[in-house]
């Protein structure tokens, strides 16, 4: 994180001025007609010492650029529109602070990602995660993507070398948020829908020492170049009629293998259309939980936007499921899986 340019220029100017004064001996004195003789000689060492102390102080500020926050506006309770510089580009994100945050107690952080063509504001509405954040007291950071995919803003989950580096962006974002608010670094999680689930999967691969657990809805992946440094707990949801992102069970099985879980999952029938499959006896308690929605489409289960999206023709009524609430289940899973 760099100090704002104007602050850096002012500090360097002051540093240079004080340095030149010490070297030249032209330090302003209380009396006008003093020379290098007499009274001046009695004061020069005292004045030089004081200026030297200032030089040391300013040098420390210049060296420690993190002392100067990059974002401009102060953090407020509720929703904050923020920006950072990452990879020489300005990146936007929403930061949500629950009402009971007092700045001393470290709170969990959930990174929330939307699907292709969405936005940080839209995924807040889609998931209604803010309501859970108020009750359970955690912070949400919902970034905006700039990687172009199928004509919409998305995430470079496949590490396209010609595209933006979203993994580095999230590293920068976590560092930035941690410098602004008090974060429990053992409880940093990522959740996402569709392309947001794909980038969450990528972060589990590449930032497994930072991300405690993953919630992936309609888009879990296990990339071929995925090499997590540790087992990562995963909760995922997929519909059998999802025609956009397929292979949910296959990728969940790959995560279970990575986590050294028992081979065959335990299956429980939750409702007429929902089965829960859980891979257990995993290393470091990194279980993998799957909710398979029979007849479900490319949806976020029990989203408050379900009816609206149905009216717009984005979701089909028969593919919408309200028997389970993905948002509550994801947070419940996160609560049980801090960083070991």
Convert the pLDDT of each residue in 131-179 to its tens digit. Answer: 999 999 999 999 999 999 888 899 999 999 999 999 999 999 999 999 9
Q: Are 321 and 298 in contact (CB under 8 A)?
A: no
Among 67, 88, 105, the domain boundary falls at: 67
pLDDT of residue 11: 37
**Does 148 lie in the same domain as 14?**
no
Residue 37 covered by a domain: yes
Question: For the chain, what percent of residues have pLDDT higher than 90?
Answer: 71
Q: How confident is the model at residue 123 (pLDDT cuts 50, 70, 90)?
A: very high
pTM of the full structure: 0.78
pLDDT of residue 71: 54
**Does 103 lie in the same domain as 47?**
no
The sign of the CA dihedral 165, 167, 168, 169 is positive
Residue 60 covered by a domain: yes
13 has a pLDDT exceeding 50: no
- Cα dist. 50→40, 46, 56, 64 in Å? 15, 6, 10, 22
pLDDT tens string 304-323: 988 887 888 778 888 899 99
**Does 307 lie in the same domain as 218?**
yes
Q: What range does the domain containing 296 cover?
A: 78-335
Nearest-angstrom CA–CA distance, 20 and 307: 70
**Does 233 lie in the same domain as 324?**
yes
User: What total of structural domains would you count in the chain?
Assistant: 2
Residue 72 covered by a domain: no
**Does 15 lie in the same domain as 129?**
no
Sorted by sequence, the CB contacts under 8 Å of residue 6 that are 6+ apart come out as none
63 has a pLDDT exceeding 50: no
Residue 239 covered by a domain: yes
Residue 284 covered by a domain: yes
pLDDT of residue 29: 34
**Does 226 lie in the same domain as 147?**
yes
pLDDT tens string 233-257: 999 999 999 999 999 999 999 999 9
Nearest-angstrom CA–CA distance, 10 and 295: 63
286 has a pLDDT exceeding 70: yes
**Does 289 lie in the same domain as 205?**
yes
Question: If you average pLDDT over every residue of the chain, what do you get?
Answer: 83
Domain CATH code at residue 308:
3.40.50.1820
**Does 182 lie in the same domain as 309?**
yes
**Does 17 lie in the same domain as 120?**
no
**Does 150 lie in the same domain as 201?**
yes
**Does 185 lie in the same domain as 57?**
no
Candidates 235, 237, 232; CA nearest to 300 is 237
**Does 276 lie in the same domain as 309?**
yes
Residue 62 covered by a domain: yes
31 has a pLDDT exceeding 60: no
10 Å CB burial of residue 92 (0-12, 13-18, 19+) is: middle
Residue 340 covered by a domain: no
Residue 84 covered by a domain: yes
pLDDT tens string 217-232: 999 999 989 999 999 9
67 has a pLDDT exceeding 80: no
């Amino acid at each position: 994180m760099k100090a704002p340019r104007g602050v850096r220029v002012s500090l360097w100017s002051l540093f240079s001025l004080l340095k030149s004064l010490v070297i030249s001996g032209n330090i302003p004195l209380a009396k006008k007609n003093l020379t290098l003789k007499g009274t001046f000689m009695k004061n020069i060492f005292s004045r030089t010492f004081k200026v030297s102390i200032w030089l040391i102080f300013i040098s420390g500020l210049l060296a420690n650029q993190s002392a100067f926050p990059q974002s401009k506006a102060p953090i407020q309770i509720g929703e904050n529109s923020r920006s950072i510089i990452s990879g020489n580009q300005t990146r936007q994100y929403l930061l949500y602070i629950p009402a009971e945050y007092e700045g001393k107690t470290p709170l969990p952080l959930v990174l929330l990602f939307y699907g292709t063509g969405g936005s940080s504001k839209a995924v807040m509405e889609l998931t209604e995660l803010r309501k859970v954040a108020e009750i359970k007291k955690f912070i949400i950071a919902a970034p905006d993507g700039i990687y172009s995919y199928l004509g919409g803003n998305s995430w470079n989950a496949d590490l396209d070398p010609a595209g933006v580096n979203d993994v580095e962006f999230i590293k920068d974002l976590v560092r930035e948020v941690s410098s602004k608010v008090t974060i429990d670094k053992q409880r940093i999680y990522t959740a996402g829908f569709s392309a947001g689930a794909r980038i969450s999967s990528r972060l589990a691969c590449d930032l497994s020492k930072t991300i405690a657990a993953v919630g992936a809805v309609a888009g879990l992946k296990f990339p071929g170049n995925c090499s997590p440094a540790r087992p990562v707990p995963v909760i995922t949801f997929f519909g059998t009629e999802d025609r956009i992102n397929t292979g949910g069970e296959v990728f969940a099985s790959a995560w279970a293998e990575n986590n050294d879980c028992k081979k065959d999952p335990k299956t429980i029938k939750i409702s007429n259309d929902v089965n829960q499959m859980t891979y257990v006896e995993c290393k470091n308690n990194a279980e993998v939980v799957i909710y398979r929605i029979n007849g479900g489409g490319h949806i976020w289960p029990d989203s408050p936007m379900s009816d609206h999206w149905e009216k717009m023709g984005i979701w089909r009524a028969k593919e919408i499921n309200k028997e389970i609430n993905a948002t509550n289940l994801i947070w419940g899973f996160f609560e049980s899986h801090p960083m070991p």
